[in-house]
Amino acid sequence: MEKKTHQIGELIPPKAIKISMVFSFRNEEDVLPELISRVRNVLELEKEKGLISSHELIFINDRSTDRSEAILMEQDKSHGDIKIINMSRTFGVSPCVMTGLKYSAGDAAIYMDADLQDPPEAISKILEVWKSEDNV
């Protein structure tokens, strides 16, 4: 069996990590409940596998005018895993992503669009590749 060696400064994934999920959004009240449910389901499976120890869901509100923020606050009551950051004006996706990453407390962070264009189930594959110690 070949032993893997590591270079100085190379990131070695810990056994279990805290993961920060970052989502930027604007007026996504129709998809937020499904998004949160699916993301939590995936993260719970990853906890059962021992890959992650805990998680946080960071939502960057790019000045929504619908009930998105109220939905997030309601969703947080049962789990306490949601952070909401409200932008002072409409900034667009990139500044929102950077803000979410700045305020993340996890050992690693994953960004996804809140509109479900990417399936939350892809989180498992992302973590699997990262854990395999391939360059990510």
Write down the pTM of the prediction: 0.86
Per the structure, the count of domains in the chain is 1
DSSP letter for each residue of 33-97: HHHHHHHHHHHHHHHHHTSEEEEEEEEEE----SSHHHHHHHHHHHH--EEEEE-SS---HHHHH
Q: 10 in a domain, yes or no? A: no
pLDDT of residue 12: 54
What domain range includes position 58?
17-131
pLDDT per residue, tens digit, the chain (136 aa), is: 454 555 555 555 557 899 999 999 999 999 999 999 999 999 999 999 999 999 999 999 999 999 999 999 999 999 999 999 999 999 999 999 999 999 999 999 999 999 999 999 999 999 988 888 655 5
Whichever domain contains 28, its CATH number is 3.90.550.10
Q: 48 in a domain, yes or no? A: yes
Q: 71 in a domain, yes or no? A: yes
Q: 119 in a domain, yes or no? A: yes
